[in-house]
Amino acid sequence: ECEKDNFYLFNSDGTMSINFGENTGTPGCDFDGFNVYDTWSLSEDEKTFTMVYYSIFSPDNLVTETYRVKTLTTEKLELEIDYDLSIFGEGTEETFLFEFTALPK
């Protein structure tokens, strides 16, 4: 629910930025904005998309997330990633789908 108004800007030089929208800081969305998204890359075969970010509390600790590209067009980007949610009683490979729809800048 907190991410529905987020928008990402993927620059051609591999840098990126995110705006967390108006829901940031509203009840349940209090932790939006604690991560700074820094760079992105797309593999040569366009099957793997990578984003690098860091926490505002530990900027020297870079985190890399690697996604599988499901759809890549000028209008839409769909990325899949598996998370281990066993600590919450779920499976060890829960697949999440992230959908990005292009809008005018």
Segment 30-51, tens digit of pLDDT: 666 688 888 999 999 999 999 9
Q: Which of 101, 64, 98, 93 is nearest to 80 (CA)?
A: 98
pTM of the predicted model as reported, rounded to 2 decimal places: 0.82
Q: In sequence order, which residues have a C-beta less than 8 Å from that of residue 90 and are 6 or more positions away?
A: none
The pLDDT score that the predictor gives to residue 31 is 67
CA 100 to each of CA 2, 12, 35, 51, 76: distance values in angstroms, whole numbers, following the listed order: 15, 16, 18, 14, 6
Segment 55-68, tens digit of pLDDT: 999 999 999 999 99
Backbone phi, psi, residue 52, to 5° = -115, 135
